[in-house]
Amino acid sequence: MTRKNLNLKLFEKAYLIRRAEEKIIEVYDSNEMKTPMHMSMGEEAIVSGVASALSGLDLLFGTYRSHGLYLARSGDTFRFFSEMFGRESGVVRGKGGSMHLSDPDRGLVATSAVVASTIPVAVGSAYALKKKGTRGVSAVFFGDGAIDEGSFWESLNMASLFKLPVLFVCEDNGFAVHTPPALRHGYKSISAIVSRFNCSVFSSTSTDAEVVFNLASRAKNAIFAKQTPAFIYLKYYRYLEHVGTHEDFSAGYRSQEEYQKWLKVDPLKILASKLKKLGVGKGELDKICKDIDLAVERSFKKARNSAFPNPAELYKNVFHEK
Amino acid sequence: MKSRRISYRDAIREGLQEEMKRDKNVFIYGIDVADFKGIFGSTIGLKEEFGDRVFSTPLCEDSLVGFGLGAAVSGLKPINVHIRVDFLLLAMNQLANMVSSFHYGSGGKLKVPLVIRAIIGKGWGQAYQHSKSLQSYFAHLPGLKVVMPTTPHDAKGLLISAIRDENPVIVLEHRMLYDVVDKVDDENKLVPLGKANVLRRGGDITIVATSYMNVEAIHAANILKKRGISAEVVDARSIYPFDSETILKSVEKTGHVIVADYDWTFCGFSAEVAAIISEKSFSSLKSPVKRLGFAFAPAPCTRPLENLFYPNAEVIVRSVEEKLGLKSTNLKGEEFFTYENKFRGPF
């Protein structure tokens, strides 16, 4: 793939995520989407970059903040919006909502609202991939808050011990809910500690999706070349409140100035200006944006007009039945 | 039908061995499963036969259950073993938040053929962290199946059914039953999940029991028989799915019920059984449902208190007498806690 095409692909993913979330913001206060929203605005470079470096053989696991991950993997906004509206046409027929997007057919196995809970599951899936001889990795996304949890260390230990193809993706937005690392970590550097395990470590503070893509590609190669798991540490800034669709700078735990600094390196801004340098004209980029806007608008409307699940759905799929 | 007499321990080992031969996706893992003691001998020899499909792991129960979940949804058939069910409490996050709801949470797309074996214990001073049973904790969660085999035949048959099931199943095996030798059928070896088992027929009173309490119930039934009382002993066997039909049929015949659960009674399985009977067959009851279980205290270590903690056949006999308005039988010369008396440790 040429650099231009790669960046176009990354831009399309990032722009779709941004537009879909902006659409949520438009209606959320009307109380039609009754599901706790953990918005991913600001992290688009990470999910677009990593998802683009992964193949169809790879498995993905996320957190309650996984709108971006789902959209980057699937490109599908109809089932996404349907899930937000609680409709039967949703990703998991309205049973999961914003925090539990699971699309196994596309390799997005699960996302979890209890911090760190998908990490050991990803390790188990990696074991299965290795046993079955599939050349895939199991990529698990989590915040730096997950590193406070025991199951992160248990899982890192197991993956390193059993030499499993796990790609740990730590997305550090500087807070666990509202609490900064200085109040949670008895150490300075996550990467330094993780590197003491039999695990390759990569890190970046870039919000350029291409940088993330390259890092994730290298990490994936390292997994197979060195037969160890890999850990990528990435920084981003959460534009909105922990949960909800508004800003919360007035709460006083973070500053507007800090936000303004991150806005200068907004992932979409970076991709757009790069595309310009790579020869994509304004007209071409506008057309891409317009097409995505239209697709978002259409799927949003269709989802909003879709049916709720019927009552029998409540008891369906508690157990698998032959 | 061809059958042999083997121990509960060997029945479990045979079940594991046969399923590992039949399905290459089956693997066994957990703390100490591949060591020389092999979980009370139940996994001895399997590592030699199946290589890296049997492996010991780091000590991280929560992540081990999560690991099994990941392997299960990705096409393998994991069997995760815990030498005491108490340690499985460390894995309640994975069980309650992940394993139980994964199929539901995927819109029915992910299957979770995960088996968790956990040994429940009693006696010989196990105290309060090596003696729990917890079937009510697990069965309370929609999405988990829970079985408690009492006989060697059921130990093998329920385990095989659990392995072949496409849902998560917790198998609670009682430590004191490991040496019990009994008939195991070679054909019809599958014991379906969700079916109770009438261990002994009788017409005067129904004793619904779980796990080791069946041993005590049979013992009590033998004592009662001497004075002309015939007790029907129903081994609930499968906690969820629950076979209310077999139990209600027995209650409709006898009109008197004692639920002897191997657990505490408050908010427990015995309360559930009593509630189901009263909801579905109230008119057939000639007396209120009586529940027996552990004393409502953490399990004590010292023998005199431990004996009070666990109900035994004597308690069952006295309860039956009270229920049927009989005079107390002289129980001098009867031996109680017989299995524990044989037990010599070390754990």
Q: Does A199 touch chain B (CB under 8 A)?
A: no
CB pairs under 8 A between A and B: 143
Nearest to A140 by CA among A162, A157, A117: A117
Token pair for residue B25?
């996706």
Q: Does B60 touch chain A (CB under 8 A)?
A: yes
Q: Write down the pLDDT at residue B345.
A: 65
Token pair for residue B191?
């014991």
Q: Does B70 touch chain A (CB under 8 A)?
A: yes
How many Å is the maximal CA-CA distance in chain A? 57
Q: Which residues contact A125 (CB under 8 A, 6 or more apart)?
A: A59, A61, A109, A138, B70, B71, B73, B74
- Gyration radius of chain A over CA positions: 19
Q: Does B49 touch chain A (CB under 8 A)?
A: no
Give DSSP secondary structure letters for B124-187: TT-GGGS----HHHHHTSTT-EEE---SHHHHHHHHHHHHHSSS-EEEEEEGGGTT-EEEEESS
Token pair for residue B242?
């629950």
Set B82, B130, B140, B153: catalytic member: B130
Measured in angstroms, the CA of B143 and the nearest CA of chain A are apart by 5
Q: Quote the CA–CA distance of A154 and A135 in Å, as a whole number.
A: 24
Mutation to test the A interface, candidates B74, B79, B166, most A Cβ within 10 Å: B74
Q: Does B102 touch chain A (CB under 8 A)?
A: yes
Say which amino acid occupies B324.
L
pLDDT grade for A287, boundaries at 50, 70 and 90: very high
3-state secondary structure of B189: coil
Q: For the segment A124-160, what is each residue's pLDDT rounded down to a tens digit?
A: 999 999 999 999 999 999 999 999 999 999 999 999 9
Contact A109 B69 (CB under 8 A): no
Q: Does B144 touch chain A (CB under 8 A)?
A: no
Asked whether this complex has an ipTM greater than 0.85, the answer is yes
Say which amino acid occupies B221.
A
Question: Does A320 score more than 90 pLDDT?
Answer: yes
Q: Write down the pLDDT at residue B187.
A: 80
Q: Exposed (0-12), middle (13-18) or buried (19+): which is B338, by Cβ within 10 Å?
A: middle
Contact B73 A131 (CB under 8 A): no
3-state secondary structure of B54: strand
Q: Quote the CA–CA distance of A29 and A24 in Å, as a whole number.
A: 9
Alpha carbon B290 to chain centroid, angstroms: 20
The three state secondary structure string of chain A is CCHHHHHHHHHHHHHHHHHHHHHHHHHHCCCCCCCCCECCCCCHHHHHHHHHHCCCCCEEEEECCCHHHHHHHHCCCHHHHHHHCCCCCCCCCCCCHHHCCCEHHHCEEEEECCCCCHHHHHHHHHHHHHHCCCCCCEEEEEEHHHHHCHHHHHHHHHHHHCCCCEEEEEEECCCECCECHHHCCCCCCHHHHHCCCCCEEEEECCCCHHHHHHHHHHHHHHHHHHCCCEEEEEECCCCCCCCECCCCHHHCCCCHHHHHHHHHCCHHHHHHHHHHHCCCCHHHHHHHHHHHHHHHHHHHHHHHCCCCCCHHHHHCCCCCCC
Answer for the pair A195, A251: CB distance below 8 angstroms, yes or no.
no
Q: Quote the CA–CA distance of A310 and A307 in Å, as a whole number.
A: 8
Measured in angstroms, the CA of A95 and the nearest CA of chain B are apart by 7
Q: Write down the pLDDT at residue B342.
A: 72
The mean of the pLDDT values for chain A is: 97
Q: Does B157 touch chain A (CB under 8 A)?
A: no
Query: A60 to chain B: nearest residue by CA?
Result: B70
Q: Write down the pLDDT at residue B347.
A: 64
Answer for the pair A67, A40: CB distance below 8 angstroms, yes or no.
yes
DSSP H or E segment with residue B283: none
Measured in angstroms, the CA of B286 and the nearest CA of chain A are apart by 35
Query: B141 to chain A: nearest residue by CA?
Result: A318
Say which amino acid occupies B273.
V
DSSP H or E segment with residue B294: none
Phi, psi (degrees; rounded to nearest 5) at B297: -155, 160
Say which amino acid occupies A302.
K
DSSP H or E segment with residue B205: strand B205-209
For the segment A202-216, the average pLDDT, to the nearest whole number, is 98
Token pair for residue B216?
């005590």
**How far is the CA of B83 from the CAs of B38, B64, B130, B132, B134, in angstroms?**
10, 13, 9, 12, 14
Q: Which of A90-94, A113-117, B66-70, B336-340 has the lowest mean pLDDT?
A: B336-340
Q: Quote the CA–CA distance of A62 and A103 in Å, as a whole number.
A: 11
Q: Which residues of A touch B71 (CB under 8 A)?
A: 124-125, 127-128
Query: A123 to chain B: nearest residue by CA?
Result: B67
Nearest to A61 by CA among A17, A20, A103: A103
Q: Write down the pLDDT at residue B346.
A: 65
The tens place of each residue's pLDDT in chain B, 347 residues long, gives: 688 999 999 999 999 999 999 999 999 999 999 999 999 999 999 999 999 999 999 999 999 999 999 999 999 999 999 999 999 999 999 999 999 999 999 999 999 999 999 999 887 889 999 999 999 999 999 999 999 999 999 999 999 999 999 999 999 999 999 999 999 988 878 999 999 999 999 999 999 999 999 999 999 999 999 989 999 999 999 999 999 999 999 999 999 999 999 999 999 999 999 999 999 999 999 999 999 999 999 999 999 999 999 999 999 999 999 999 999 988 888 887 777 777 666 66
User: Which residue(s) pair with B238 in the sheet?
Assistant: B147
Nearest to A238 by CA among A32, A95, A63: A63
User: Catalytic residue at B130?
Assistant: yes
